[in-house]
């Protein structure tokens, strides 16, 4: 799924509404973001802030990232109790 989304992002075929609809349809128990490619999708990012909370954050070493480093975030539903 990540590769497909990246191809759609690069081609300009993936919309903010597509991402919000997928989030609404699937309501994942966890989301891991390790890319800056979704930063421009403001409605999607807003929906994440409304419904999910930061669970963990870490930095990937250079061997796993095309950039110098990549910061990953693990999000879990805000209403879920631990």
What's the confidence (pLDDT) of residue 2? Answer: 54
Q: Does CATH number 3.30.110 belong to domain 2-77? A: yes
What's the confidence (pLDDT) of residue 29? Answer: 92
What's the confidence (pLDDT) of residue 70? Answer: 77
Its pTM stands at 0.78
Neighbour-count burial for 14-46, b at 16+ CB within 10 Å, e otherwise: bebeebbeebeeeeeeebebbbeebeebeebbe
CA distances from 44 to 11, 24, 65, 81 (A): 18, 10, 23, 23
What's the confidence (pLDDT) of residue 3? Answer: 54
pLDDT reading at 14 higher than 70: yes
Q: Is 52 exposed, middle or buried (0-12, 13-18, 19+ CB in 10 A)?
A: buried
> What's the rounded Cα separation, in Å, for the pair 55 and 46?
17
């Amino acid at each position: 799924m990540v590769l497909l989304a990246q191809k759609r992002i690069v081609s300009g075929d993936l919309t903010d509404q597509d991402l919000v609809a997928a989030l609404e349809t699937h309501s994942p128990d966890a989301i891991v973001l390790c890319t800056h490619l979704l930063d421009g999708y403001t409605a999607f990012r807003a929906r994440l802030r409304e419904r999910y909370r930061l669970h963990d954050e870490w930095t990937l070493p250079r061997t796993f990232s095309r950039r110098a480093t990549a910061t990953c975030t693990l999000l879990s539903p805000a209403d879920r109790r631990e």
